[in-house]
Chain A
Amino acid sequence: MNNEFASFEKMPASTPDQPADKISAEQIEEIAVVGEQHDDTPRATYQERGAKAEAAAGNQPATESPEAPVAVQASETAPEELSAEEVQQSVLDEVLQAHEPIHSESQFTATENQNSLKDKIRETINKAKNTRGFKIVVAGLLVASIGLSLAACGGAHNASNNQEPTTAFEQTAVSGEQANGVSYDYRHYLDYENKDSKNAYDYSLVDRYGDRDATIDGIMDVAERNPEALASYAYQILNEEEKQELGIDGMNMTQIDDAMSNDENGGKLQKDILTELEEVLKDENSTRFDYYLENNFEETSYVYFIDDNNDGTATPEEMHIGYSTTKRDGAPQVNILRKANTADGKTVWVLAADINLKCGGQVNYSKGEFPEGVPKIDQDSPDPETTTKPTPETTTETTTQWGKSGDPHAGEDVTKSPPVDPNSQKSKEENDNTNKGNQGNSNTKPGSSSNNTDSNKKPSNPDRKSGGENQGGSSTNGNNSAPKGDESREQSGNESQRQAQEQNQTGGDNNTNSEEEQRVADGDF
């Protein structure tokens, strides 16, 4: 037999810094021995149990199948024939054997009592599967255990830990302060052990899932290190009034980044944005964090490095914001919602930003909704067209308002907006593709600047505000402070709300067209 344990140590769970590495082979053997003390039959392997189940189902084992593509002693389809109950029962028996000493001490030796205990454990597991608090705890531990990386960040690599880089690689060159006063620290992004990472903002914030204060600390830490991340947060989270005060109104996120990285007063702007952002995030009265697990396609932002100077070092001038499409699969994320006043004087919670915790707090958008002005770079990203899409489910009122998935988020205390005609409610998937529209209506791209879209080079364009001029200043809802980044979106949202109200008052038009649905979703109404 090969030294499979040594091979397994190559896995993330067994990297030198991970807890799994603390588990000795002896400990593992000890567990196995405990189990074998109660059963002379060698412990069935995962594959063997699959083969057993297949045999029970009347199938032939794969060892008799010449078509087996690899030299593996298992059936062609063995595990898929294993019912969930069989798998669970098999695993349950093994776990109970492994933990026999614990339960023996508690005098659980009789079969009857063991069965009772089995039932209780099973019952507890089923409860836990439906308990958000427990799942949050375990999810955080698991992610910390195995040091997640890879595709969920929208690319091939990820700077996935929050340990201070220790390698001497250009340490001073990738952190510091530019002549215009902009400070930066790309060490996590560049990840000394994986310095070609191109798909994250910084280190993972997953361990902050469910903890608002810790999440804010993480976001601010990333924002302070990475001007590009800060630009995306400012673009997405700050409302128009706040942007005007900072002088970044009408800019897209690339332009905000450009202003910090290249303008003479970029350093001051960076500090002002950081101050404003922190104030907004910490305001519990007007900002809310809803945690959830994302399972759909997203267009997600990240930073990438173009070494203009060919010196191998990264500075803000050489770091850029891009985005790619990726499929999430239970990714821990947080929706940041802000209170906003509608034109008719109502206060509603509006989705301001959707943050992917795993990859340093990337800002997400639904497919096709990423704001213009940022180049799409599907570098090493999975092809969304070749990945199985999740089965659409009927959305609920809650998910129609805010959510992107059926997982827990979108608190029940959301100020209820005018009800949407049931016939205009979309499937979950449709909703996924539109509810983030409140971050940018595809028909009224915020801060768009087409001269930026086809270039990987960060624009150093004195006319960068032109994108805002193209789309801004058209709002007729001067009192609206919805944090949607541009007035056209606010207008769209208010228009949607108005239409929704009218529908409600008049019994609604069941034939709401798709454009209206889009606007309703855009406004989160």
Chain B
Amino acid sequence: MDNYLIDREALGQFIDGLMKQKPLPANTPEDLNTLRENAIKELDDRLGLAIFGSLSEEQLNQINQLLDDPAATPEAFQQFFTSAGLDLQKIISDTMTAFGKEFLGGQNE
């Protein structure tokens, strides 16, 4: 497993799109790559925290049990979030929207 919760390529493309609008400050390609990677990592963290931060403690316990089950299928996770009344798609979209706004806004300030 990689050290990302979310599809890293997808996050990278999202960040790349932001960077095209507001380039990150870097003097070398290596610096730029580091900044990009940090942004990907931060977005990944935010998405993870937004997803699990939306759960109550009881729900956290429940999903931890599910995560501990090696036989848990993707469908089981989908079922969990549906039962929990959480719209994962919306959480993800919200988080990315907020991140994008902050990313671009932060560079304007």
Contact = CB atoms under 8 A, between A and B. Distances in A.
A406 B2 CA distance: 9
A178 B31 CA distance: 54
B14 to A, nearest CB: 5
25 contacts: A1-B105, A4-B104, A8-B97, A10-B21, A20-B96, A22-B90, A23-B93, A45-B103, A45-B109, A62-B25, A68-B25, A72-B24, A76-B31, A95-B50, A96-B53, A117-B60, A129-B48, A131-B72, A138-B7, A142-B6, A145-B89, A148-B9, A149-B13, A293-B2, A330-B9
A330 B100 CA distance: 21
Contacts of B101: 4-5, 8, 28
A154 interface: no
A27 B94 contact: yes
Interface string A18-30: 1110110001100
A80 B94 contact: no
A13 B14 CA distance: 8
Interface residues of A, number: 95
Contact of A23 (B10, B51, B57, B94): B94
A128 B93 contact: no
Interface of A is mostly: helix
Contact of A143 (B7, B45, B107): B7
Interface in B59-100: 60, 63-64, 67-68, 72-74, 76-78, 81, 88-90, 92-94, 96-100
B72 A133 contact: yes
B77 to A, nearest CB: 5
B31 A87 contact: no
Interface of B is mostly: helix
Interface of B: 1-14, 16-18, 21-27, 31, 33-35, 38-39, 41-42, 45-54, 56-57, 60, 63-64, 67-68, 72-74, 76-78, 81, 88-90, 92-94, 96-109
A141 interface: yes
A504 to B, nearest CB: 31
B1 A130 contact: yes
A75 B34 CA distance: 13
A386 to B, nearest CB: 9
A19 B35 CA distance: 27
Most buried by A among B24, B73, B74: B74
A124 B88 contact: no
B1 A407 contact: yes
A128 B42 contact: no
A45 B105 contact: yes
A210 B74 contact: yes
A12 B93 contact: no
Contacts of A139: 6-7, 10
Interface in A100-149: 102-103, 106, 108, 117, 120-121, 123-125, 127-139, 141-146, 148-149
Contacts of A13: 14, 93, 96-97, 100
Contacts of A195: none
B31 to A, nearest CB: 6
A12 B92 contact: no
B98 to A, nearest CB: 6
Given A72-B22, A73-B107, A136 B74 contact: yes
Contact of A75 (B18, B25, B97): B25
A143 B8 CA distance: 10
A328 interface: yes
Interface stretch (A46-54, A362-370, A465-473, A478-486): A46-54
A77 interface: yes
A46 B102 contact: yes
B35 A80 contact: yes
Contacts of B45: 87-88, 91-92, 125
B108 A2 contact: yes
Contacts of A41: none
Most buried by A among B54, B56, B108: B108
Contacts of A19: 89-90, 93
Contacts of A130: 1
A146 B31 contact: no
Contact of B51 (A75, A78, A138): A138
A64 to B, nearest CB: 13
Contacts of B48: 125, 128-129
Contacts of B12: 329-330
A46 B89 contact: no
A14 B102 contact: no
A95 B94 contact: no
Contact of B6 (A14, A138, A407): A138
Contacts of A137: 74, 77-78, 81, 88
A99 to B, nearest CB: 5
B3 A129 contact: yes
Given A127-B64, A137-B74, A87 B42 contact: yes
Nearest to A11: B17
A128 B78 contact: no
A176 interface: no
B27 A67 contact: yes
B9 A331 contact: yes
B68 to A, nearest CB: 7
A252 to B, nearest CB: 30
A70 interface: yes
A321 to B, nearest CB: 24
Interface string A226-267: 000000000000000000000000000000000000000000
A82 interface: yes
B93 A133 contact: no
A127 B68 contact: yes
